[in-house]
């Protein structure tokens, strides 16, 4: 399918119930794709997720553990993964959540779509995509944030807030990291906005997002408020 080197990045915090099964599923999904490694960015999970990743890497050296001192947020984990991918000269970097909300079996479709895109999004909001396990309030909130991002930030994508993405490392590395204000859940929208500003070609492929079955979500009301405020600042300044 591809002669490009790909790094799959998974950010973890208290994901011991998921991480080993997820790593198995990722390697099963990319079995026919050469040169795919997995970087696990763990924020010093109290439940021992990092130790499980260390043990897995002893069995499979394609897994690269990356330990951080504490809980630093999803946005900073994405930037760490992108820096690692650039330093190690990977061509593509794929991001997905650790809780099986993103289907690992769709990774090959994201990579295939990179033939004529710089970013491929696993999208809940294009025909064929969907969400399972969310209540009306969460669906309404997600739809509202995505509408805000399209209208006020001008992002030409239906799913601006999801973390299931494949990026062309050489292209998105042109974005100065210091220009990105977000470090929490508004990071996804702001990052797409800045990618679009440097001319990234954005594509989407449908996925069904499945609400986590194991562990607890790390999203809370305070994070939502901070994220909306950050996006409002970005939309006003447009810089």
Assigned CATH class of 6-237: alpha beta
pLDDT of residue 227: 66
pLDDT of residue 220: 52
Which pair of tokens denotes residue 209?
A: 């997002």
pLDDT of residue 180: 86
pLDDT of residue 222: 61
Burial class (CB in 10 A: 0-12, 13-18, 19+), 133: exposed
Which pair of tokens denotes residue 91?
A: 């061509």
pLDDT of residue 223: 62
pLDDT of residue 109: 97
Please state whether the predicted TM-score (pTM) of the whole model is above 0.95.
no
Domain coordinates in residue numbering, the chain: 6-237
pLDDT tens-place values along the chain, 239 residues long: 457 999 999 999 999 999 999 999 999 999 999 999 999 999 999 999 999 999 999 999 999 999 999 998 888 999 999 999 999 999 999 999 999 999 999 999 999 999 999 999 999 999 999 999 988 888 888 888 888 888 888 899 999 999 999 999 999 999 988 888 776 778 899 999 999 999 999 999 999 999 866 545 545 556 666 666 666 667 666 65
Q: Are 188 and 163 in contact (CB under 8 A)?
A: yes
Distances (CA, A) of 183 to 59, 76, 211, 219: 33, 6, 22, 13
Q: Which residue shows structure tokens 């061509």?
A: 91
Tally Cβ neighbours within 10 Å of residue 46. 11
pLDDT of residue 57: 98
Q: Are 126 and 113 in contact (CB under 8 A)?
A: no
């Amino acid at each position: 399918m591809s002669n490009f080197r790909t790094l799959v990045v998974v950010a973890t915090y208290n994901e011991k119930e998921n991480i080993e099964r997820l790593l198995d599923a990722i390697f099963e999904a990319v079995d026919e794709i050469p040169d795919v490694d997995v970087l696990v960015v763990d924020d010093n999970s109290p439940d021992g997720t990092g130790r499980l990743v260390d043990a897995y890497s002893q069995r499979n050296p394609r897994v690269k553990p990356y330990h951080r001192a504490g809980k630093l947020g999803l946005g900073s984990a994405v930037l760490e993964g992108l820096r690692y991918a650039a330093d190690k000269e990977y061509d593509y970097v794929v991001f997905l959540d650790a809780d099986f909300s993103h289907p690992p079996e769709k990774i090959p479709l994201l990579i295939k779509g990179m033939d004529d895109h710089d970013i491929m999004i696993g999208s809940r909001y294009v025909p064929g995509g969907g969400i399972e396990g969310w209540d009306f309030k969460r669906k309404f909130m997600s739809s509202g944030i995505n509408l805000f991002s399209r209208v006020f930030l001008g992002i030409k994508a239906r799913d601006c807030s999801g973390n299931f993405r494949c990026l062309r490392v050489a292209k998105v590395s042109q974005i100065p990291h210091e220009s990105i204000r977000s470090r929490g859940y508004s990071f996804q929208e702001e990052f797409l906005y800045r990618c679009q500003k440097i001319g990234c070609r954005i594509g989407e492929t449908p996925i069904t997002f499945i609400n986590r079955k194991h562990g607890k979500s790390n999203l809370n009301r305070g994070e939502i408020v901070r994220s909306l405020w950050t996006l409002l600042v970005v939309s006003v300044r447009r810089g």
